[in-house]
Amino acid sequence: MEEPHILTYNFVLAAILIIFTFVFMVLLYFAWKNRDTPISISYGLGVVVASFYTFGYAFQLVSTTSEQMLTWIHFQYLGIPFGPFLWVIMILRFTHNEQFLTKKNIALLLLGPVHTLSAHFTNSLHQLFYKSIAVDSSQGFPLIALDRGPLFYGHIVYAYSYYFIGISLLVHMYCKSNKERKKHIVLMIIGSVLVFSFPLIHSLHLIKIPIDVSPFGLVFSSLFYLWGIYQFNLLKMSPVTMKQIFESVHDAVILFDLDDTLKSYNNSAAILFEEIHHRKLIGETAPQVLAHLPLLAQFLKHQTTQNETATQSMKLKDDYYHVQFSFITGSNHKQAGKMLILHNSTKSLKYEESLRQQSKQYEYLAHHDMLTGIFNRAYFEQEVKRRLALSDQKTGALIVCDLNFFKEINDTYGHFTGDNVLIFTANCWHENLPKPHILARLGGDEFVMFFEQIVSKEQFLQQIKEVRTIFKNEWYKQDTITIEIVPSIGISFIEEEGANYEILYQICDERMYADKKKLKEYYVLNEDG
């Protein structure tokens, strides 16, 4: 009369496990939606493994023969061997130890699943995984009784060696984390304890429980994992939910979690990672991702003050960027991550530089004579008047110079040669005049020079005489043409005429024309002679 009760009990347990399997499917969907985050892939695959276990064990509970039960055990073992493997990979990602996930290390980690898988499915050949298989009805409903062999305990050693590796990483992370972070790590530790403690109790018969409670613990551990991962901002910051916003932004946007692990970046930021595009960057730490951008890595490293926004301009690769840092706040008003926004300012900087260069060019043109490169009249008069007004020195001098026979040079040899004669004259004055001086072209063939301070009138006149001698000895040469430069000059002295520019200039002009008259008379007499 108890049979209906027994069947009901079996089916209730099986129904619960089927419901758990559907829960796993929901969790798998969540992981799939966040598949761009590497840890969500590990979590999702772990959920698949768990669903094999719960679904298979549900039908094992309602089976009545050893053959049926063994069939569903085989189904469970399509996933069970890979559970510890996927779990330790998830923990490595959670604790930011992705650098150990090399092809070589993954191959070594796969030795455990391969051992369990091969030992289980070849048990009929060696009976070393299960020594014997029978049906036990002593509990009031049919259960399979397995006498486990040495290869099964090899599976236990493999699984729990991975477990101790993962727990050690979690404990190490817990010890070096802040108070807020420790709460999330505790959730992961609780989930891990649930995953591995129930199978250990069942496999080693530490507590006499007639059924395998491991599948029932899996769903609770999965929820703890989900909670810990979500609160730790590894899934919450998935780029899937922000991709449309990201791609509509022209500036480069890079998101990190609070542990400086890369969570997402938009297409505008992808150009910064062109050198390492072959790598799976999501999930790597900032030092790894930004190794080729040391300025940006240092900038991010130094941003530790909460609620701080910082900006800095820097050159990254061949472009200039205005970089802005800010913390991201989640829906619970707590910090959820870090964001870098990089505005490429190369074009604007180049435009600003071109404006500066144009400004310098305009300033140069405003102050200089286009032909000779020396100062022009406007700047000369402005600067000399300023110095005369400020200077206490009374020993300066002003010179006005005019070239004799310049019209004849233009008429005979052309204006191109005439221009070169003016350039030659300006260079000769500039190189040989007493220093310091201000030299300018008044216009045409006229030049003007100002000396703010001279040693003495006699010495100064001797220096100017020497320059005139240079003009007399060093003629302008162009191809087969040689032209003597004959300057007429007029000099006025501040000590004698005062510091009024107009008066000084007028005196220079009068003396220059007097000198011009003498020189012309001299050259006329020589030609007649």
pLDDT in tens, the chain (529 residues): 444 444 557 788 888 888 888 887 887 887 787 776 777 788 788 888 888 988 998 898 888 888 999 999 999 999 989 988 988 998 888 888 888 888 999 999 999 999 999 999 999 899 999 898 888 877 677 888 888 899 988 988 988 898 899 889 989 988 887 776 787 788 778 777 777 777 767 666 666 677 777 777 776 676 666 666 665 544 444 444 445 555 556 788 888 888 888 888 887 788 777 766 656 777 788 888 888 888 888 888 888 766 667 888 888 888 888 888 888 776 556 777 888 888 888 888 788 878 888 888 888 888 999 999 999 999 999 999 999 888 676 789 999 999 998 999 999 999 999 999 999 999 999 999 988 899 999 989 999 999 988 889 999 999 999 999 999 999 999 888 899 899 999 999 998 998 899 999 999 999 999 998 888 766 655 554 4
Q: Assess whether the previous peptide bond of 436 is cis (omega < 30° from 0).
A: yes
Please report the pLDDT score of residue 226 as a whole number. 66
For residue 437, the 8-state DSSP code is -
Question: Which position has the token pair 């496990």?
Answer: 17
Q: What residue ranges of the chain are covered by domains with CATH 3.30.450.20? A: 239-348
Please report the pLDDT score of residue 228 as a whole number. 61
Q: What residue ranges of the chain are covered by domains with CATH 1.20.1070.10? A: 3-231
The answer to whether the beta carbons of residues 116 and 46 sit under 8 Å apart is no
Backbone angles phi, psi at 378, to 5 degrees: -60, -50
What is the rounded distance in angstroms from the CA atom of residue 214 to the CA atom of residue 200?
A: 9
What tokens appear for 478 in the block?
Answer: 């162009």
CATH code at 368-528: 3.30.70.270
Please report the pLDDT score of residue 522 as a whole number. 67
What is the rounded distance in angstroms from the CA atom of residue 24 to the CA atom of residue 38?
A: 19
Reading across the β-sheet that carries 438-443, which strands appear in turn? 375-376, 438-443, 446-451, 397-403, 487-493
Q: What residue ranges of the chain are covered by domains with CATH 3.30.70.270? A: 368-528
What is the rounded distance in angstroms from the CA atom of residue 420 to the CA atom of residue 422?
A: 5
Chain centroid to CA 404: how far? 67
Question: Which position has the token pair 């050690």?
Answer: 168
| CATH fold of the domain at 239-348 | Beta-Lactamase (3.30.450)
CATH code at 3-231: 1.20.1070.10
What is the rounded distance in angstroms from the CA atom of residue 293 to the CA atom of residue 27?
A: 37
**Measured between alpha carbons, how far is residue 197 from residues 13, 174, 181 in Å?**
20, 20, 24
The answer to whether the beta carbons of residues 142 and 63 sit under 8 Å apart is yes
